[in-house]
Amino acid sequence: MNDKAPLRARAEIDLAALRANVRTLLARAGGAQLMAVVKSDAYGHGAVPCARAALEAGATWLGTATPQEALALRAAGLGGRIMCWLWTPGGPWREAIEADIDVSVSGTWALREAVDAARAAGRTARIQLKADTGLGRNGCLPADWPELIAGARSAEDAGDVRITGLWSHFACADEPGHPSIAAQLNVFHDMLAYAEKAGVRPEVRHIANSPATLTVPESHFDLVRTGIAVYGLSPSPELGVPADYGLRPVMTLAASLALVKQAPAGHGVSYGHHYTTPTGTTLGLVPVGYADGIPRHASGRGPVLVDGRIRTVAGRVAMDQFVVDLEGDRPGPGSEAVLFGPGDRGEPGAEDWAVAAGTIAYEIVTRIGARVPRVHLHATDATDATDVTAGPRYDTVVAGTGTGTGHDGNGSTAG
């Protein structure tokens, strides 16, 4: 592929910004280690290049949801500690143990499968026990903790496992001052104390996600698990904007206008004619749609920077395209439409699309489809000192090729 060829659409991933975000978060973490959470193809940013950049910037752990995602990181040659937490019976325990991946255990069925796999592999499994301190999702409830701890300790004494971590996850860390935050910390302290009394000597204890890393210092323990903040986005509007924390958005989503045309007054636009031109005007065709992850719920609302001005999606977002009313402006076909980015040129942020679609910025970036090529900029540390006048450096351009293939080209993620 010609790296410089104009693309229908592209998601530029600024790895220098990602590295700077990791360093900023490490400075906030008060001596705790940092796990870069790179699940779901690094929230749509490309798992392997993002994981590599995070480690370069000082992250010592990588986190994924599924074991397949974790195994793909190792297969791509990534070192450092890797942990994955979303297991189902029959999962690839043995492969994970052999790849030196920390596996999370939330219940006795998982402990049994980890022990069996460790014996089959002839290795000690690194397991992290997950506590449900109040999220009410995955994890072991306090009432079941003694049984899990007892089982894990005897497996440890038998040499089948080593309990490397004790951990939990917050329900409402993105709502500063929510009473559940202190309540969960209390429960976590109790469950840690119980485990330690039973002889558990974990390498890491951790509970903080991005919002807790940014706003709850007493939650940092030995390790913080940051996802959204690594990608330079604010966890919630209540926490403010990325710049409030010295974070810079990593993804810029842009497309090339496919058509600009004069239309008469009273002309219906896109499916259902939910927009009608109020006067004679110019219409611009932006060639991305809900198949690319542009939320259909943002029909009539999503903001786009075109030719120096913010325009709004006119009518429905279709599968592959949507229209903006350019009110007489006539940028040429091929002109850039910037849906979101760090804001340097006045473009909207992913948070603005989240508001337009009634969702969170996490979902906006994570759902950008496999059809949109990820263009990774500043893949090496040497390019951190960006000369802005030199324009973007297209270090890698890897187009998504459809389902089952990661954007990094190693077939890593299921999206």
Ligand X SMILES: *Cc1c(COP(=O)(O)O)cnc(C)c1O
Distance CA 9, CA 320 (A): 11
Tell me whether residue 62 or residue 375 sits nearer to ligand X (CB atom): 62
Q: Does 235 bind ligand X (CB under 6 A)?
A: yes
Q: Does 228 bind ligand X (CB under 6 A)?
A: yes
Other Cβ atoms closer than 10 A to 10: 21
Among 225, 248, 376, 407, binds ligand X (CB under 6 A): 225
Tell me whether residue 227 or residue 315 sits nearer to ligand X (CB atom): 227
Distance CA 408, CA 233 (A): 22
Distance CA 88, CA 78 (A): 24
Q: Does 24 bind ligand X (CB under 6 A)?
A: no
Closest approach, Cβ 209 to ligand X, in A, equals 4
Q: Does 151 bind ligand X (CB under 6 A)?
A: no
Give the residue numbers marked as catalytic.
Answer: 39, 271
Q: Does 413 bind ligand X (CB under 6 A)?
A: no
Closest approach, Cβ 229 to ligand X, in A, equals 6
Q: Is the Cα dihedral 278, 280, 282, 286 positive or negative?
A: positive
Provide the 8-state DSSP code for 373. Answer: P
Tell me which stretch binds ligand X (CB under 6 A): 17-25, 227-235, 323-331, 369-377: 227-235
Q: Does 169 bind ligand X (CB under 6 A)?
A: yes
75-104 binders of ligand X (CB under 6 A): 85
> Could you give the 3-state DSSP secondary structure of residue 145?
helix
Q: Is the Cα dihedral 138, 29, 173, 222 positive or negative?
A: positive
Tell me whether residue 115 or residue 361 sits nearer to ligand X (CB atom): 361
Q: Does 299 bind ligand X (CB under 6 A)?
A: no
- Give residues with Cβ within 8 angstroms of 33, minimum separation 6: 59, 60, 61, 204, 222, 223, 224
* CB-CB contact of 36 with 50 (8 Å): yes
Tell me whether residue 85 or residue 353 sits nearer to ligand X (CB atom): 85
Positions in the binding site for ligand X (CB under 6 A): 37, 39, 65, 85, 169, 209-210, 225-229, 235
